[in-house]
Chains A and B, each alone.
Chain A
Amino acid sequence: VHTTDFPGNYPGYDDAWDQRRFEGVFRVDIIREEEGALEFDMVGIDAAIANAFRRILLAEVPTMAVEKVFVYNNTSIVQDEILAHRLGLIPIRADPRLFEYRNQGDEEGTEIDTLQFQLKIKCSRNPQAAKESSDPNELYFNHKVYSKHMTWVPLGNQTDLFPDADFRPVHDDILIALLRPGQEIDVLMHCVKGIGKDHAKFSPVATASYRLLPDITLLQPIEDEAAEMLQKCFSPGVIEIQNIKGKKVARVANARLDTFSREVFRHEGLKNLVRLARVRNHYIFSVESTGILPPDVLVSEAIKILMGKCQRFLNELDSVPME
């Protein structure tokens, strides 16, 4: 639904853009901040801009991911291209702001735009295993290839540029392939900087979404059994029942917790007594990061990218003469 508060739409209302009025109304509240997830509110902003932030978080914040895989030896069951695909999807803990994009057509890769990783592992039989054991953990060495086996190989002067950096996959326990004795994998990987629009492996968020704050109004006072039924219709915690003068009266306690299942409308008696709506400009964002960058950094980067886009067009407007 598009916003309709444009100047001229409603006579008598002055809806023209006013930066001061926006700054007076706008606020951000951080609700919950965990390891890799952030939940925050933006109040006073419009859908178009909130959606722009969400789209940028998903598709245009750059990260580093494995792009080229040089396979020297792969005698495992997993095919080369499947292995390369799996390696590309592994999130790499490397701050993408320290690197540049690779130029088009540049095959080799320089120090400033490429990270090199090596995965070299060979499975062998364990001579000390018991005769009748059938547990692969006992029988074989190295039969599970995890992401912790990927090692960083510094290119050129990267050891000087990043003296105390430790580039490795975010999670050590991602299973890449399974091996049996005699099979080995020997690959060299190049990581480059890219954006989610190009390939989903470059997306820095597990997911980024927003919802609007629900607005539940009781059109009439609801009492006794109807109040009990009403409380069951909504998610727990939304409606609370108070004892006023001996009667149980329902009251909306916390509309934020509601998941909007619209169960109320299935009951004939309660259908007309409740109005379900959404607060138009109160957005509850939920950003979960894959671990490469913390979620608050991701949101800041997304806002900066939107500013960068505007700046790009402003510069073009000024430099190119308009006919």
Chain B
Amino acid sequence: VQADGTDGNCVTFVLHDEDHTLGNSLRYMVMKNPDVEFCGYCITHPSESKINFRIQTRGALPAVEPFRKGLNDLMSVCQHVLNTFEVRVFLKSS
């Protein structure tokens, strides 16, 4: 992970070894945050496996916060999906 930007509000994270799999789902979770003014990701070049993930917040919130919240939200979504799925499999097999 590398970060650079003008001030604390708009930061571009460079995530190595990632592609659309995490990029698109993380972008969706961060966009759901009402404090975020702009969020997007792009793949710098298809031969290299890294993405530029940019977050811009409105107000004085440091951009790392929505990033962290987005990751945590994505974790909790996955956890819930996993629990629901495993309960279903268990019910189906018994």
The B interface, classified by DSSP as helix, strand, loop or mixed, is helix
Asked if A304 is at the interface of the complex by the 8 Å CB criterion, the answer is yes
Binds B, one of A50-58, A62-70, A100-108, A154-162: A50-58
Mask of B76-89 contacts with A, CB within 8 angstroms, 1/0: 11111110111011
Question: Is the CB–CB distance between A26 and B80 below 8 Å?
Answer: yes
Q: How would residues 192 to 205 of chain A score, 1 for a CB under 8 Å from any chain B CB and 0 otherwise?
A: 00000000000000
CA distance A3 to B25 in the complex (A): 12
Interface residues on A, range: 35 or more
Q: Given the complex, which residues of B lie within 8 Å of A6, measured CB to CB?
A: 31-32
Which residues of chain A are near B20, meaning CB under 8 Å? 51, 55
Decide if B43 is an interface residue (CB 8 Å cutoff): no
| CB within 8 Å: A-B pair count | 113
Residues of chain B contacted by A322 (CB below 8 angstroms): 3, 64
Is A300's CB under 8 angstroms from B32's CB? no
The distance from the CB of B74 to the nearest CB of chain A, in whole angstroms, is: 5
Alpha-carbon distance between A284 and B86 when the two chains are bound, in angstroms = 17
What CA separation (Å) do A309 and B75 show in the bound complex? 9
Which residues of chain B come closer than 8 Å to A274, judged between CB atoms? none
B-side contacts of A311, CB under 8 Å: 75
The A27-51 residues at the B interface (CB cut-off 8 A) are 27-30, 33, 40, 42, 45-46, 48-49, 51
- Nearest residue (CB) in A for B4 is A323
Kindly state the separation between the CA atoms of A23 and B78 in the bound complex, as whole angstroms.
11
Interface residues of B, Cβ cutoff 8 Å to A: 1, 3, 15, 18, 20-22, 24-29, 31-34, 64, 67-68, 71-82, 84-86, 88-89, 92-93
User: Could you pull out 26 A-B pairs where Cβ atoms are within 8 angstroms?
Assistant: A6-B31, A7-B32, A7-B34, A15-B32, A16-B32, A19-B76, A19-B80, A23-B80, A28-B84, A28-B85, A28-B88, A33-B92, A40-B85, A45-B81, A307-B75, A309-B21, A309-B22, A310-B72, A310-B74, A310-B78, A313-B71, A317-B64, A317-B67, A317-B71, A322-B3, A322-B64
